[in-house]
Amino acid sequence: MGELDRLAMYTQMVRIRQYESRIMQEYHADKSPAWDIGAGLIPGEMHLAAGQEPAAVGVCAHLKKGDAITAPHRPHHFALAHGVDMNKMTAEIYGRTGGLCKGKGGHMHLFDPENHFSCSGIIAQGLPVACGQALAFQRKGTDNVAIAVTGEGAANQGAFHESLNLAAVWDLPVIFVIEDNDWAISVPKDASTAGASNADRAAGYGMPGVRVEDNDVEAMYEAAGAAIDRARAGDGPSLIEIHTLRLFGHFEGDAQAYRPELATVNERDPIPKYAATLQELGELTDDQIASIQADADAEVDAAIEFAKASPEPAPEDALLHVFA
Amino acid sequence: MMRNASVGIIANPASSRDIRRIVARGPATTTNDKINSLARLMEGLAATGVKRVVSMSDAGGIAQGLAAIAQKPSASHWPDLDFVDQEITHGPTDTISAVRSMRSQNVGAIVVLGGDGTNRLLLGETGGTPVASISTGTNNAFPRHDEPTVVGFAAGYVATGAIDSSTCTYRAKSLGVMDGTQVMGALVDVAIVDGDRIASGAVWDARSLREIFLCFAEADAVGLSSVGGHLRPTSREEPQGLHIRLDDSSPVRVTVPIAPGLVRELGIASVSTLEPQAEIRIESEAGVISVDGERSMRFVSGTEISVSLDTNGPLVLDVQRAMAEAANTTTTTKGEDTHG
Amino acid sequence: MSTTTETRRITTAKAMAEGIGLEMQRDPNVFVMGEDVGAYGGIFGSTTDLFGEFGADRVIDTPISETGFIGAGIGAAVEGLRPVVELMFVDFYGVCMDQISNHMAKIHYESGGNVKVPMVLMTATGGGYSDAAQHSQCLWGTFAHLPGMKVVVPSNPYDAKGLMISAIQDDNPVMYMFHKGGQGLVWMEKNPRSIGEVPEESYTVPIGKAAIAKEGSDVTIVTLSLSVQHSLDVAEELEAEGISVEVVDLRSLVPLDKETVLESVGKTGRVLVVDEDYKSFGLTGEIAAIIAETDPGLLKKPFSRLAVPDVPIPYARPMEYGILPTRDKIKAAVKDLMA
């Protein structure tokens, strides 16, 4: 495990939050007054990860060149924390030719082979792919690891259980990261899941399972570091479930009428909490808070400008890239 | 026999899922294991005539799981099961508010399902109510490994008055951490650890240990108290504790399990007896204080921190003594003689 | 393709395995995984002897966990390996279709061409041995319908080997769909054309190029897989009756060699499409559409097709053979076209 860099983790969380907040603004900006999900500069479903920054930042702080991530339909925080180019990612979300996937993927299908980053919009189905990436690392004799990210709702899918079993049977260098944000769209965990903790489910496969409470970035950092060290050393897979927070709706446009704790959600925001911790430790000044925020604002604004300046694809481009 | 005897249940949904599972193959007590332990406890309580059980509520699925079993026909003979009406914060205050509610409802005993960390939360809260523990945490020095069904019998005998609790309880020791006033307590150990990270809580990096204070140190202990157990075994019921200073360059070495599966060699600078009420000043400039194996509080240079041993911990129900006492005082007149 | 004087005759199954083995020798990134592909050698012989040659490290028995191991194949392919994965029966597609359709077949497109998935998914198809509705389907039309994967369907040992080598060398995901009845297995009905001459050395058969399995001038049979063998049997019989049948073996559904089909139909003016897959919304209708889109005037007689009549494959022999495209039915259909 490397040295804990608190300022870097805080900065990364702020950067992600600024990104998600601005994408939310941009997404809604030209969809009013008659809201239409397919309209506007950013069309389609939009699943934002504000509040879930500790999950991505705590894990990605340990990753190195060649390590892979498969993210689910809510992928931006892991993409940014893993070093995916913000400009190209934003252009992809805007459906432009300068995007990561030339406008073919969109926000749920971000592919960055240089960083071994991919997503799948199908619940839990990215996990088997991550196992395959881990299998490739194992076969090539590298010490790279694959991070398989999914939500707690996905843990009721067969693909989740097949992946845990395969990873355990083959001792794959894969770390399953479960983001438990309490809600599978509108269904609470206790109505959907037998056995409250997915860390427990790991035990059924002979795999260490850890649950990180309180959306705590440093606890996530430490658990992920231990799991990643273990995988790199050839000791096999682990599972980390973090109790995190979906600050926004399942997707943009979700009124969240089903969510009784909605009024108090902002009180659980992990970023101000972490800022307070760092200030208490004397590792973060007010000036730094302001400059980190200003840098994030500028970077995100530039990425949005980049995206908007990138040309739209031509209709006939749809026929390209079916086959290599 | 007390009519309407009742017993409280505290169950920690978060116990046994910490980082030690990764670094040392720490034990995994699943939520379903915990629910089943409580179901077995209920059988013991039912057998002794307990009429009502008050359980803590939680969002981790334990209360929900126990309630689901209680609804089944096979549980129709159980005591009535009520849950504390409490706001769930996912934090330690859930446990504390549940205990307060139980005491206001005059429960005759409290059963705690959890490890050292869970039991610690009860410090100063249980007063004269006997406390029995069922071990489910990752690292358990305080709770004994008793079968929940038998714990149910023991707690039930005490709560119903079938046996006199004075015959089978003792007052546990505790440790207080003070920076002028007491800020934290511990039931087993207080440790001073290098660095400024609380992070995942559990103490698992032996190199970071500087000082350990122990309420008791059994020779067969696991966790930080094993350091004392290997050097100078100290019982739960004698008034003194231990204070150990560590120094990696010391020629005095012990090899101990600082967590299940995590065996480390430590250098010992000194071992001294900790007398009750003696305040020991911590020498470290800055660091993190762990209580019962959990990193809990940072302190910075210039903070005056001291630790002292107290003999006013929870009233612990010794299950073995309770069952022995019950064998002497309770008789069964109904049923067949199986020795025919 | 190299020429050879070798007259060695082997089964389709052995030819497939030989193709895989040659690629494994050539390229260390090639490995095999699937259920019972190891010591057993594949339930339908597709990995015969590979375990002995390459060991458990490169011929990997998987759990019964198709979503898991097909997904793992995809992940390994994305990272640059070349897995050959077996789905034991194509009928099991229901438990893993998300990996096949939403991942294996779409990742290249979704990534704007940035991520390749060089993977072979081989799978056993077909009925004729009373394995009933869940173990007898062909389903190649289903896979060919979904964009993003090549689909090859060999009919004989020579093509089986050459197409396998091409499939492994292809940078795209390839569904390699072999017919159980065409494998030359000792425990199945003996179709003599399932044993044939196969050179020992490596060679490729191009994906997307149909073969004229037999030249003829009166009627074109467009078909694939085991039905090619049946059609050739029928064509030989009809030759004696003075009917000259041309048999087009499609060999690949994706890409589909339309030119060869149209050229043959243009020559004969009569076409029968024989398909062991379900009739509606499938290959037979697709060929009809291609002819109609190109030039309906190519046909002297109305388009004719023979396929499974939109019922699940039944168990009892009289019923199963009642719905399969047997030699008798093919013969009758050709005669109808000539009437």
Write the DSSP string, B195-216: SS--TT-B---GGGEEEEEES-
Cβ <8 Å between A132 and C78: yes
Domain count, chain C: 2
Do C and A make contact, counting contact as 3+ CB pairs within 8 angstroms?
yes
pLDDT of residue C317: 97
Which residue of chain A is at minimal alpha-carbon distance from C113?
A321
| Same-domain pairing of C45 and C130 | yes
Cβ <8 Å between B62 and A196: yes
Q: Give residues with Cβ within 8 angstroms of A122, minimum separation 6.
A: C98, C102, C103
pLDDT of residue B20: 72
Sign of CA dihedral B104, B106, B110, B116: positive
CATH 1.10.1760 fits B174-310, yes or no: no
| Same-domain pairing of C105 and C60 | yes
Q: With CA atoms as reference, report the closest residue to B110 among B321, B315, B325, B323.
A: B315
Is C276 a residue whose pLDDT tops 50?
Answer: yes
DSSP string, C46-62: TTTTHHHHH-TTTEEE-
pLDDT of residue B92: 76
From chain A, pick out residues whose CB is under 8 angstroms from the CB of B61.
190, 195-197
Top mean-pLDDT range of A260-264, B47-51, B89-93: B47-51
Tokens, residue B29: 């007590």
The percent of residues in chain C predicted with pLDDT above 90, rounded, is 97
pLDDT of residue B15: 57
Is A294 a residue whose pLDDT tops 90?
Answer: yes
Q: With CA atoms as reference, report the closest residue to B179 among B291, B271, B307.
A: B307
Cβ <8 Å between A132 and C113: no
Annotated active-site residue in C135, C145, C179, C230: C135
Is A50 a residue whose pLDDT tops 50?
Answer: yes
Does any domain span residue C206? no
pLDDT of residue B31: 84
Do C and B make contact, counting contact as 3+ CB pairs within 8 angstroms?
no
Q: Which domain holds residue C172?
A: 9-197
Q: How far is A90 from chain C (nearest CA, A)?
A: 14
Is C2 a residue whose pLDDT tops 60?
Answer: no
Cβ <8 Å between A136 and C103: no
d(CA B295, CA B96): 19
The H-assigned helical ranges of chain C are 12-26, 50-54, 66-78, 97, 107-110, 140-145, 157-169, 226-240, 258-268, 283-294, 317-323, 327-338
From chain A, pick out residues whose CB is under 8 angstroms from the CB of C62.
166
pLDDT of residue B139: 65
Is A313 a residue whose pLDDT tops 70?
Answer: yes
Helix (H) or strand (E) run with residue A220 in it: helix A217-232
Counting every residue, how long is chain B?
Answer: 340
A196 touches chain B (CB under 8 A): yes
B331 three-state secondary structure: coil
pLDDT of residue B338: 46
Residue C134 belongs to a domain with what CATH number? 3.40.50.970
pLDDT in tens, C73-125: 999 999 999 999 999 999 999 999 999 999 999 999 999 999 999 999 999 99
**DSSP 8-class letter at C101:** I
The percent of residues in chain A predicted with pLDDT above 70, rounded, is 99
pLDDT in tens, A160-182: 999 999 999 999 999 999 999 99
Mean pLDDT, chain B, whole residue set:
88
Tokens, residue B216: 């008791």
A34 touches chain B (CB under 8 A): no
pLDDT in tens, B98-147: 999 999 999 999 999 988 888 888 888 999 999 999 988 666 788 888 99
Q: How confident is the model at residue B88 (pLDDT cuts 50, 70, 90)?
A: confident
d(CA A79, CA A49): 11
pLDDT in tens, A235-288: 999 999 999 999 999 999 999 999 999 999 999 999 999 999 999 999 999 999
Which residue of chain A is at minimal alpha-carbon distance from B197?
A218
Position B4, amino acid: N
Ramachandran quadrant class, B251 (left: phi over 0; alpha: psi -120 to 50; beta: rest): alpha
C146 touches chain A (CB under 8 A): no
Does any domain span residue C1? no
Whether residue C74 contacts residue C99, with contact meaning beta carbons closer than 8 Å, is answered with yes
pLDDT of residue B137: 64
**Boundary (domain end) residue, out of C127, C162, C197:** C197
Helix-helix angle C283-294:C258-268, to 10 degrees: 70
d(CA C260, CA C257): 6
Is B336 a residue whose pLDDT tops 50?
Answer: no
| Same-domain pairing of C257 and C169 | no
A188 touches chain B (CB under 8 A): no
Q: Which residue among B62, B64, B200 sits closest to A222, beta carbon to beta carbon?
A: B200
pLDDT of residue A159: 98
**DSSP 8-class letter at C106:** T
Question: Where does residue B304 rank: exposed (0-12), middle (13-18), buried (19+ CB within 10 A)?
Answer: exposed
C31 touches chain A (CB under 8 A): yes
**C145 an active-site residue?**
no
pLDDT of residue B334: 56
Question: Which residue reads 């009549």 in tokens?
Answer: C309
* Cα B27 to Cα A175, B137, B226, B264, distances in angstroms: 19, 8, 18, 18
d(CA C337, CA A234): 66
Is B250 a residue whose pLDDT tops 90?
Answer: yes
Question: Where does residue C187 rank: exposed (0-12), middle (13-18), buried (19+ CB within 10 A)?
Answer: exposed
Q: How far is A214 from chain C (nearest CA, A)?
A: 32
Domain ranges of chain B: 6-172+313-329, 174-310
d(CA B187, CA B314): 9
B23 touches chain A (CB under 8 A): yes
pLDDT of residue A70: 98
What average pLDDT does range B58-73 have in this prediction? 89
- HSE, CB side, 13 Å, CA atoms: give it for residue C117: 35
Q: How confident is the model at residue B183 (pLDDT cuts 50, 70, 90)?
A: confident
d(CA C147, CA C254): 9
Cβ <8 Å between A166 and C65: yes
DSSP string, A225-268: HHHHHHHHTT---EEEEEE----S-SSTT---TT-TTGGGGGGG
Options 3.40.50.970, 3.40.50.700, 3.90.1150.10, 3.40.605.10; which CATH number does A6-310 get? 3.40.50.970
d(CA C69, CA B109): 53
Between A and B, how many CB-CB pairs are < 8 A? 82
A58 touches chain B (CB under 8 A): no
Q: With CA atoms as reference, report the closest residue to B209 among B263, B262, B261, B268.
A: B268
Is B162 a residue whose pLDDT tops 60?
Answer: yes
Which residue of chain C is at minimal alpha-carbon distance from A168?
C63
Q: With CA atoms as reference, report the closest residue to C233 among C276, C190, C198.
A: C190
Residue C315 belongs to a domain with what CATH number? 3.40.50.920
Which residue of chain A is at minimal alpha-carbon distance from B35?
A195
pLDDT in tens, B141-156: 888 889 999 999 999 9
| Same-domain pairing of C145 and C84 | yes
Is C184 a residue whose pLDDT tops 70?
Answer: yes
From chain C, pick out residues whose CB is under 8 angstroms from the CB of A323.
108, 148, 150, 172
Give the Cα-Cα-Cα angle C114, C116, C122 (nearest 5 degrees).
Answer: 160
DSSP string, A138-189: HHHT----EEEEEEGGGGGSHHHHHHHHHHHHTT-SEEEEEEE-SEETTEEG
Q: Are B6-172+313-329 and B174-310 the same fold in CATH? A: no
Is B332 a residue whose pLDDT tops 80?
Answer: no
Is B286 a residue whose pLDDT tops 90?
Answer: no
CATH 3.40.50 fits B6-172+313-329, yes or no: yes
A133 touches chain C (CB under 8 A): yes
- For residue A317, the tally of other CB atoms under 10 A from its CB is 14
Comparing B79 with B283, the larger pLDDT belongs to B79
What average pLDDT does range A191-204 have in this prediction? 85
B14 touches chain A (CB under 8 A): yes
